Chains A and B, each alone.
Chain A
Amino acid sequence: MARPKLKEHHINREWCKGCGICVEFCPKKVLELDRYDKAVIAVLEKCIACRLCELRCPDLAITIETQDQIP
């Protein structure tokens, strides 16, 4: 099965508490914390849609949509 391609990477800023777990464990270093201590995308092109940030987010603030996904 082909690796799913990223369609969209959502971060809900209202829910994000800025713990930095997603930043720390992203294998491609796609994410960072902004000056408000909220997770943001630094380099979207590097995202491989592995979902580790989504699954480890304690705030349920991250949603990954992939292209094979039914919207």
Chain B
Amino acid sequence: MASLSSGSSRENKAGFWKKNSSVPGSIKPVYGAQHPPPQSNINMPSGRQIKKDEKAKHNKKDAFHEFENKTSDAWDDGDDDLIQMANLKLSLKDVHTSAKVVLDNHSKKANSLQKQQLEDNAASNNKGLNSPQSYNSNHHHPHHYHGGPGLGVRLNSGGYQPPKMTSIRYVTNTAPDREATKIDKFKALFAEPSLDLSDLRQLCWSGIPKAVRPTAWKILSGYLPTAADRRQETLERKRKEYFGYIDQYYETRYQDLHEETFRQIHIDIPRMNPLIPIFQQLVVQDIFERILYIWAIRHPASGYVQGINDLVTPFFVVFLSEYIENDIEVENCDLTELPQSTRDLIEADSFWCMSKLLDGIQDNYTFAQPGIQMKVNALRELIKRIDAPLFHHLERQGVEFLQFSFRWMNNLLMREIPLRCTIRLWDTYQSEINGFADFHLYVCAAFLKRFSEDALREQDFQGILMLLQNLPTLHWKDKEISELLAEAYKLKYMFADAPRHLLLKS
């Protein structure tokens, strides 16, 4: 109940935010001492060492509270099925059908509400709030209505473009008022002198509204400190540091020692997102090459490994969204329309957040990729326990887990789901301690289990492998990710908090 009262005081403190809550890019830059990197307190089924005090914190009771807290947010989002999924053994298919009806109605209602609100705003809202860097105008553009001002100039400005299937755009089904309330909560939290990271994690677990995602990610990843007054200073220092590396190292890319690294990066960048226009822009490709090259030569134990390039994309897209018109599709934005200084900010922030991510999974990319081998084995053990029919089917047909799940681990499922879903998934990964390593495993297990029936229908090796390497997720949106996360959370709750449960019987 203490949390309730502190919550409401936060609301009061943050009253001034509310006026501006619908304006994107208005996030105050943030400042401070480096927050210590999050410590692991989740145990891999493979029996990682647990610190005693960490363990004590995570006894059953706490775990339950944590679970309750996290899922209670689901009510805010209207994801009622999330809670059901976590508690009951419902067939996903059944939930799908009924949820689809509800969500369809809901989103129709939400869209009409949102349109209404946007029109109202456009009429009333023209007061200030352009921060020097944030380049967004105060005009609101309901999606697809007209080309309009702002940065997000469409590459093909010839008029209406139908949305693409590969759209990055973050799609919410929540009503605007709920979304606004959630945004207010975030802004209140950001404004606290010393932000409680567990509060932020709890708020972010069930998805972060687009408007506050860039700041939330920077804090969650450990890039920005929890102390509000030190964030701006940190940003400036880290950005300077990054461009110091560029000055110092980037010219070494053609030297014998590093030639191979740069050659590989240079081969991979142009082909990383062939269907998304923004990634065909040379200026964007150059940014990715610099980020990856600098990271690679500063981490010689792994260096650049194919797949790491994908991991920059969500950061880049999210941080770019901070500087462009709310309703312009990031994938069609022309980066050369942004001032160099803004592009530099996006580049440096993407570099540091990607570095933080990779710090947690570096053994995925060192020689022989032990992190991946370990996770593939853990996935196998987990499936053996939670989906015996599927496990035996795969065994009988000679399908090895490495053959399909190597890529799941190496690219964090980014090759398996649309980019917008990855972004949503990362909201949660960054809210979990060691999310990209430990929680990812449970997500993979839930992911495989979800296609269990389809795999069981395939009667031979080639059928199964073709299915598992080309899973039908093109249409996936937040709803599917929420279901996946609920299932993954259930698995984590069952196994990670009781690692011996898995170890002894496997």
| A joins B in a complex | no
Question: B-contacting residues of A (Cβ < 8 Å)?
Answer: none
